[in-house]
Amino acid sequence: MSLTNAVVLIEAERDALSTLGGALADIPGVAEAYSVTGEWDFVAIVRVPDHEQLADVVTGQISSVPGVARTQTMVAFAAFSRHDLDSLFSIGE
């Protein structure tokens, strides 16, 4: 079964910075949540079975968490990891 993977950038309201990470991590479909530096305050990695469920997680759940000011979602087309690349180039060794 292939999953739909997405990266969700999240801007938090100032008074929610200390609690929002835990609230995001508790949402079904959110595999990981990170506090980050820069323009965005949090990054959520979402993994769900299909695009319809992705829409529910992002617009129905993440966006409705108190303290979420705005989001930007990027759907992943392909996943790459160092492990995958190393095994690809080590064929025959």
Q: Show pLDDT as tens, one digit a residue, over the chain (93 residues).
A: 688 999 999 999 999 999 999 999 999 999 999 999 999 999 999 999 998 999 999 999 999 999 999 999 999 988 777 665 565 555 555
pLDDT score at 2:
81
Q: How far apart are the C-alpha atoms of 6 and 93, rounded to whole Å?
A: 34
Domain span at residue 40 reads: 4-89
pLDDT of residue 79: 76
Report residue 73 CA to chain centroid gap: 8
Residue 80 is predicted with a pLDDT of: 76
The whole-number pLDDT of residue 21 equals 96
Whichever domain contains 69, its CATH number is 3.30.70.920
Domain total in the chain: 1
Q: Are 46 and 54 in contact (CB under 8 A)?
A: yes
Q: Give SS3 for 89.
A: helix
